[in-house]
Amino acid sequence: MKPARCSRCFSTTSPRIQNSKSDGDSSTPWYLRKENSSQSGQVTHDKFPELPYGTPQGIKDLLTLLVKKYGLTSLKVYDLAALPADHPKYTDEQSPQRFIILASGKSEKHIYKASYELKQHVKHEYGYLPRIEGMTSNAISTRARRRLAKRARQGPPATHNDFGIGQNSWVRCELGVEGAVVHILSDERRVELNLESLFEEEGGDVEVPHVETPTQKRTYEDTESVFFGLRRHFHTSSSRQDVAQLKSIVKSCAENPSDKSLELFKNDFDSTFTGASVEEWSEKFALYKLLHLRDPSIASFKDLEKVLLEKHASIQLLGEEINWNQEIVNDVIRYMEAVLDINEPLPASEKLSMLSSFISRITSFSRDELHFFAVDKFQALLWSLTCDEYVPIDAARLHTALSTGKGIEVENCRVHQDPQSAQNVRELLRTINFSKRGAVPLWLREQMLYTYACARNWPYFWKEWNMIQQSLTTPRDIALMQTKLVFLLAMINDKIALRDFFCNFWDTKNSSSFINQWEKANSELFTAKERKSLKRALDMIYENHGSSSWFENARVFATTL
């Protein structure tokens, strides 16, 4: 007997369609009717920023494009030509980077899209491609993105941030249109960088909502975690007590004038030293350096080098939260300072060879790429190592002499600089600075200038001086630099160099002469102490070379100060 079949009727027509068919004669499907369509929301654009006085129409059109078409928000516009003349970001009205526009994007994809569209707009409207930095395409391979991340970490290692590693969080567009430069940033990056403070007279804060970026860090306080106690090592208080005791020993040794008890200080320090923290190792290096300078038989220079290397090989410091890349950079700088402080003069070639050997050994403790030349102090010390001894006149001494009048005296000590080492280091510094910064910084040029003067290397001295003068733009800067040169030559007291300066740069028909720049800069910009110090330097030159005819105009000028 066959089982009975159960038949079910399934309707393939929805009730809405059935109702629509029964309701009327309309042949419009239900999904095309207006009552079933979603309501489109009203598009709202960000408010236009407050514009500086005299903003060109091209900038206004650009802002309209950024706001209405690209959807950027929180726009700010700065006219650098309207800033005070003494502002570091001041430019003239014809500058290609006159107007700075800051804007925020909703996301990194939004920033990339807006930057790309802006590039295409300039390309089709003006016929050339603008200069854009920070825009990373998704088509870039992983290897290329890692290279970009490494390149972004070439800033000063002291910061050790992750700026530039995240793609499209800060894009800079130098458009070449009406002198406009557009910065498009994410909210987080804009808060962190605070670019507004660079272009405002009294500093500014970012007017974007505060964005909290949650960071997931492993907690070491959870007793259930296998990492419990790893960071603290359960010896925090005792370690601080040890560091305080070690600092006391170093201080007592520095204040003790007798060299007979130096061995006792060393034994006392070594018995207290545990090596459980970076601070203890720093104090050990400070003590050993002090002992080496006072009695090399107690602590040799090899002992100093050994302290720095043993710190990085210490097993006790493995669990500590230490930025080892920064420690390596700091220790290299400490080593360079120790080499310069050695009592007995060493040839520059030997100093540089010692530094090269030490860097190759200490960098073996790091797997990351280190950027020593991003640290200004490293460059300054490297240039100092080209001389057999310390340079007695530097920027700090000239600044003190100008502002207070102290230290204005003749230096009879002549520095010996190794020509080959100086040439190699100079070309290395110039190559690296031109590739990373576009120019050699002024402070480094000044240091080279002072070194050439102390070494009496006048051909290179005047060559560097002409390059420095060409890099200065305002009369105030030129007059200030020429004033420093008067102090420098007065201390060196070289008659030929003084004659060349007062004949060629003091009061001539050349627009860059000292008197012309002094009048343009308005002598009132110099304080009474600075004018008095300048008069003292000129009087010292008059005492040594007053009978020379080339100094007559300077002597008359000194009476007006």
Domain boundary among 199, 214, 247: 199
Residue 490 included in any domain: yes
Whether the predicted pLDDT of 338 surpasses 50:
yes
Q: What is the mean pLDDT of residues 52-79?
A: 90
Residue 222 counted as domain residue = no
pLDDT-derived band at 284, boundaries 50, 70, 90: very high
63 close to 56: Cβ distance less than 8 angstroms = no
- Measured between alpha carbons, how far is 461 from 468 in angstroms, rounded to an integer? 11
Confidence of residue 166 (pLDDT cuts 50, 70, 90): low
Domain of residue 148, residue span: 57-199
3-class state of residue 5 by DSSP:
coil
The answer to whether position 81 is within a domain reads yes
Q: Is the pLDDT of residue 357 over 80?
A: yes
Range scoring the smallest mean pLDDT among 1-10, 61-70, 122-131, 361-370: 1-10
Q: Is residue 343 part of a domain?
A: no
How far lies 442's CA from each of 365, 477, 478, 481, 553, in Å? Answer: 34, 11, 12, 11, 29
Q: Please tell me the distance from the alpha carbon of residue 31 to that of residue 552, in angstroms, as a whole number.
A: 99
- Mean pLDDT, residues 261-273 taken together: 89
Mean pLDDT of the chain: 81
Q: What is the dihedral of CA 556, 557, 560, 561, to 10 degrees?
A: -130
Instruction: DSSP for 371-421, please give it.
Output: -GGGSHHHHHHHHHTTBSS--S--HHHHHHHHHH-TT-----PPPPB-HHH
Q: Give the pLDDT of residue 139.
A: 59
Inside any domain, residue 170: yes
Q: How far is CA 243 from CA 215, 278, 319, 347, in A?
A: 32, 10, 18, 37
Which of the listed residues 157, 181, 199 is the one where a domain comes to its end?
Answer: 199
Higher pLDDT, 213 or 478: 478
Tell whether 142 is covered by a domain: yes
Q: Does residue 554 have a pLDDT over 80?
A: yes
φ, ψ dihedrals at 300, nearest 5°: -80, 170
3-class DSSP state for residue 113?
Answer: helix
Is-contact 405 529, C-beta < 8 A?
Answer: yes
Residue 286 lies in a domain: no
* Of the residues 133, 164, 199, the one at which a domain ends: 199
CATH number at residue 195: 3.30.460.10
With respect to residue 414, please indicate whether it lies within any of the assigned structural domains.
Answer: yes
Q: How far apart are CA 348 and CA 389, in angstroms?
A: 9
Tens-place pLDDT, residues 521-542: 766 667 888 889 999 999 999 9
Number of domains in the chain: 2
